[in-house]
Amino acid sequence: MANSYIEKVLYTGQVPKPLSYEIIREDLIQALSHKIRCRTRGNEHNWMIVCGPPGSGKSRLVAQTLRSCPELIGHFYDRVFWMVDNSNDNQLLTLMTDLLCRLNCQALANLPSNEFDTFVIREMIKQELLLKPKTLLVVDGIQTQACFDFCSYLPCHIIFTTCFADLFYESHENSKFFMGKDQELNLNEIQELAANFGFGLSVEETICLKYNSGNNPALLVKLLNAAKANPGVIQMFIKNKAFQPYENFRYNSSYCYRSLSERIEQLLKYVDQSALKCFECCSVLPADKWIRREIIQMIWPVDSCGEEPNVELWLVAELVNKSLMEKRVNDDVLYLLYPLIHSYCLRNALKNESDELIRVATLLKSRIASESEYSSSNIFSEFYEENQDQIESLIQKCSNIAKNTVPNLQDLQEKTISWHQWFKSFFY
């Protein structure tokens, strides 16, 4: 629990307040705290990055760490400024003037209107920061290279949170704290979170909730908030696994976006179009499983000849850098599709390109059969055996959509539809 001095510093710096239902993840807090201390004592550079997919809890973890580790505030830092980056390449000046106003509002007021440019404001910010060098700047949700370039040369320690790992060079890997598969909520933590909302769940119900939320903290909170307001809704989330997670579920919560779909759409705007087209093909692959790169390459519209393997490596790197996929630590051939992002792409493909999905899924089957016949490796046949039901189910679903099959009036009259089945029809 933070003392009154720490709370005053965090309140003045506009660090997000703790939520009544949040769970404290001690292992991640200690790991991040250690990383921050190492960066503070080091001489390499003055910043670090907390990176991960949308809704993974990056901002909340940083706020919890600052509040829970008394050695940070008071010893390393005397003040904190929490800035939310909503800028793009054309709006960087807004973030800069906001920071200058937080540091010294009078300095901004005395700035002539014709001198509102990047260089002048950055120099003024530097002068203000030099007056109190024990300052921590948190830039939450950084999106552009311009914002990073501006902030990284400021004379203070900085923590960036972002989904964009390619804003930083590979040589800076030791300055990165990653929120990925290994940092997900476990079943006990999901049960604890549900209990904080007033729901006591069994192990089976927790597993169901984990699947329907894609084990995404932001979506979990949205589902539990909705269930708390309408208790009957909880049955839909904990009794049956949906065809795919509810990434398009819209409900107000502490998360700044109405739904995870909105955040994913914003993220996809920054993805190279060729990589995005390849990722749409990945909709036929299973989510939340480690998949070998050889399997992924089978469905991509890239020929494996000449210089093309280098292109494939670049495409994979682009998806990993935009937090659409995760590369296994110390392994260059295993990749994972995040459930929520996979669900978003699959839902869009089923809606707009069901014929293309059938083609890609069928192509995957034929190529796996061909490789299994002529290759001594059994990785292809093993993959198909493990995921055959899912691939066949997807092909059948696409075929039904392509045929535009709908139940006739007599079927609807003879079949009773429960209210939660009706509710689910809005999502699928």
Q: pLDDT of 176-189, one tens digit each?
A: 899 999 999 999 99
| pTM attached to this predicted model | 0.87
* pLDDT category of residue 281 using cuts at 50, 70 and 90: confident
- Please, are residues 245 and 343 in contact by the beta-carbon 8 Å criterion? yes
pLDDT at 85: 82
* pLDDT category of residue 34 using cuts at 50, 70 and 90: very high
Which fold is adopted by the domain 270-402? Arc Repressor Mutant, subunit A (1.10.10)
β-pair type (325-327, 334-337): antiparallel
pLDDT at 357: 82
Which fold is adopted by the domain 4-179? Rossmann fold (3.40.50)
Single out the residue of 252, 261, 233 nearest to residue 351, CA to CA.
Answer: 261
Q: Domain coordinates of the chain in residue numbers? A: 4-179, 183-263, 270-402
pLDDT at 350: 85
* Least confident segment among 153-162, 378-387, 413-422: 413-422
| Alpha-carbon span 150 to 16, nearest angstrom | 24
| Alpha-carbon span 100 to 25, nearest angstrom | 34
The pLDDT mean for the chain works out to 83
| Alpha-carbon span 333 to 267, nearest angstrom | 24
pLDDT at 299: 82
pLDDT at 246: 92
Most confident of 5-9, 57-61, 140-144, 396-400: 57-61
Q: Which two tokens stand for residue 367?
A: 């190529």
The CB-side HSE value for 365 (13 A sphere, CA atoms) comes to 14
pLDDT tens, 99-118? 888 888 777 777 766 556 77
Between 91 and 279, residue with greater pLDDT: 279
Residue 203 phi/psi, 5-degree rounding, is -60, -45
